[in-house]
Chains A and B, each alone.
Chain A
Amino acid sequence: MKLMLSYIRRHIGKFLTALLFLSMETAADLLQPTYMSFIVDNGVKAKDTGKILEYGAIMLAIAAMGALGAVMRNIYATKTSQQIGKEMRLDIYKKIQTLSFENIDRLQPSSIITRITNDVTQIQMFINGTMRIMLKAPVTCLGALILIIWRTPGLIPMIVVILIISGFLIAGNMRLGYPRFHRMQKRLDRLNQVSREFLSAIRVVKAFRAEEEEEEKFRQAAEGLAAAGVSAMRVMAVFGPLINLTVNAGIVALLWISTIQPPAEIGRLMASINYMTQVLFALGMVSHILNSAVRALASSRRVEEVLQEEPAQINHHGELEIRGNIVFDNVSFTYAGSAAPALENISFQAHAGEAIGIIGPTGSGKSTLVNLVPRFYDATSGRILIDGMDIRLIDMNILRKQIAVAPQKALLFTGTIADNLRWGDEEAAMEDIQRAAEIACAAEFIAETEYGYDTLLGQEGVNLSGGQKQRLSIARALLRKPKILILDDCTSALDATTEANVLQGLQREMTDMTVLLISQRISTVMKADRILCLEDGKVQGFGTHEELLAGCSAYQAIYNSQIGQGWKDRTYAGKAGAVYE
């Protein structure tokens, strides 16, 4: 509720203008029965046609005023509520961009998507409703009641009773409705999650003929949502008609009282009945709108959850020129929700301009280790220093500006090839882009596409092979001209020749960059200045290829698995070469 108010406050001018026009519209509605009673009491009873026409003209004028109010109210209310919805979406979106992965992991991506669209829409609908009916209903209600009391004061006790009962009913509706709508939104999350998983795993689903399982999963999610929906709607079904009944009881009571003490002027009684029906419709609207009010409350709670999420990392601002000295000082890291540490007491140093190869078995923590450098996550204990400074004290934007990452799974976005490469450097000239593409051995296949650098990519674009995506992702990283370059096994889908070409190009480029190079291939890491060998999140060895080969058993094992046979082949290839030379 506080959340909605804070947004409304930003547009208080427009909001109040809308309410002003709304009151105009409502007043017009309210005045009609009173003038009607004048027609009956002063015109009809007195058989005065002139009076009838006079009051009729006034009523027409009032109707015109109401029309003006309604049209203006519509324009203002719509603009304001849409503006608020727009700002709310943007705020959530901006917030997501500042959150760390720890936050995102906790909130669940598919839930965030539901919140930014569906939940905001619910709130927006409610705020719009507030300005058109929500306020009109109570105002009509209040106005009608005042007019009834003014014209027939004897009815006060009865009206008080009706209001108290209605109040209780409305409160009960809210109480029972809120948790049900909250549950409904949660089930919607689940539905989104299932469909998102299905869409991103579509190849596996088809290959394993798991369509029926996915169907069942979706069916359950949809059924869960429907069940929650039924239970929420049924609350409305119970309370809505009850409120109507209460007001109808009021009308009966009003007539009953009138039979006992017949009023002096029948016009007054007619007006009162008319007003009672207006109260009836107003309260009917209230119970109808409660639907969206309760829903909006449940949604606004969920939006607040995102907006109140504290980024798990603190950011210090300040200027800094990085040379690229990296020190891991006794660093340990455990993922949130996991018991075992992913990294344990890691210590090593990379000098500026040095290339460090990182090798180790699957799941040994290689990617985790490099993810700590651009602060995707913060170390659980120990420190990481860049140029002697704890990275937690460096402005995150400045830090990341000096680091470029080419990840294992190349992520490209909807847009052209050039758009995707420009991520590295927005102002990059076309020549720079082409050069980066050449170094990454991507220029050739880009040239082969129909539109070259303007070819559309991403979910809506053409099919790129895994290796082509990786090369684009390397080019993107290079375009950044970083001080620290992280290559996270980003050549795994490249054929050997292309990989060799890419690595050669990189070596030429890498002269003043510190490089962290993860690979499974000994032949790749061998080219680094020094190699860090990891196993189970611990450092097994750190040194040059020769040093490790001599003193690190883990490294030897990897070496033997690859080059060991290579030795055999070397002799074989030698022979083969001899035959053909």
Chain B
Amino acid sequence: MIANLATRLQGDPLRARLLLLIGLWLVAIVVMSLLSPYFLQSSTVPYLLQYVPILGLLGLGQTLVILAGGPGIDLSVGAIVSLVGVCVGALISGLGVWPACALGIVLGGLLGLVNGVLVNVLRIPSLIATLATMFVYGGLALASTQGKPMGNFPAEFAWLGQGTTLGLPNAFVFVLLPDAVILHVMLTRTTIGRHIVASGNDDRAAYLSGIDVARVRIGLYVLSGVLAAVGSVISMSWFLSARPDAGTGMELLAVTIAVLGGTHIFGGTGGVPGTIVAILVITTLQIGLQLANISAAWQLGVIGILLVASVASTGAFKAIWGFKR
């Protein structure tokens, strides 16, 4: 029966990864509840879910960009979070909260479009192109505010980031969950989804069968920018301030989440469920280490090891441990 299960799992790497991740998550929960008596309480759940939406949106965008191949990657998402936040913060006194947020989301899409054009029209390798835009976007956010955070958000704006429905955070229930479902359906049940996966698997073949690969990929960079902007809105609503360094370091977490979730770094394989469980694993580790009062430095170390381990080829692991079959 175990052999049967093993063959079934080998047939579907994504499902195998999903099971592995769920196992990893359970291990993380057990370890964390041993480390801290405060971890295994019902109050931890909304606390944990509070952290999930922002990273979740960035991770979903990153998953799609990487999935469409190229190889694609978007290192500027953290900087987009910062820059959109600063712009919304500046517009808010003139326009009111929600129109400012809408403009911010449009801006996020435009910033993503810049990435998409640099990578897919000018054909600059995505890694270096988005590294450069990360410099520019992040620098603009810091320089235009002189590094000072912006406040003056009205109290009712906190509904999204701080409010709860049925004990669950609104940002999770009304933003992340619907987004994840829509993207999952798009990826598995629609032609666009097929086109994305086909572009990631073999862009030459996809191009020859009539898919406009460049347009698909540009669209995904725009989507990644929009999702980052939505994440920025949630972050502002949570803290009721726009910090110009709000997104610093988030791009690395987003990439970690995407590849940990089973998205192949060169595209073609991957999906939404893996990414979602990967976010839960990462957030559980962060919250758990925080509750156990262990230095934030260890979180960095653990995330680094997870990142490398999740990309390392399994063949190499077998070779290293002398595991041969």
B and A form one assembly: no
Listed in ascending order, the chain A residues whose CB lies under 8 Å from chain B are: none
Listed in ascending order, the chain B residues whose CB lies under 8 Å from chain A are: none
